[in-house]
Amino acid sequence: MIRATRPALLSGIHMPVIFVPRPDYPAPDPRYLRIHAACARVAHLSGAGEYILTVLRDMETTVVLAKDGSSSDLLHHALLCTVPAS
């Protein structure tokens, strides 16, 4: 079942959603979809999703860091985004 925090996000989506595998893109593993759904639910209920959106929005709009250090979290997350995964 597909769920969204805002029902308007689901407009135009037909239920059930059927994934059709293609030679160049295999269908997603249902186990991974269930794990993703559980993580999304936890992030939403904990408020982490909103915090992440706020940080990403601030990274796009902030041009200069605050002199008092209050934007250190923003700098930290921006630097983490530039480090390649190992």
Domain boundary assignment for the chain: 27-82
Predicted TM-score of the model (pTM) = 0.50
DSSP three-state, residue 35: helix
**Structure tokens of 19?**
């994934």
pLDDT digits (tens, 9 = 90+) for 21-33: 888 988 888 899 8
Residue 79 has pLDDT above 70, yes or no: yes
Give the C-alpha separation, 73 to 80, whole Å.
Answer: 11
5: Cβ contacts below 8 Å, ≥ 6 apart: 44, 49
- Report how far apart, in Å, the C-alpha atoms of 51 and of each of 46, 55, 74, 83 are: 10, 6, 11, 21
pLDDT digits (tens, 9 = 90+) for 9-59: 888 887 777 888 888 988 888 899 889 989 888 888 888 878 878 888 888
**Structure tokens of 76?**
């930290």
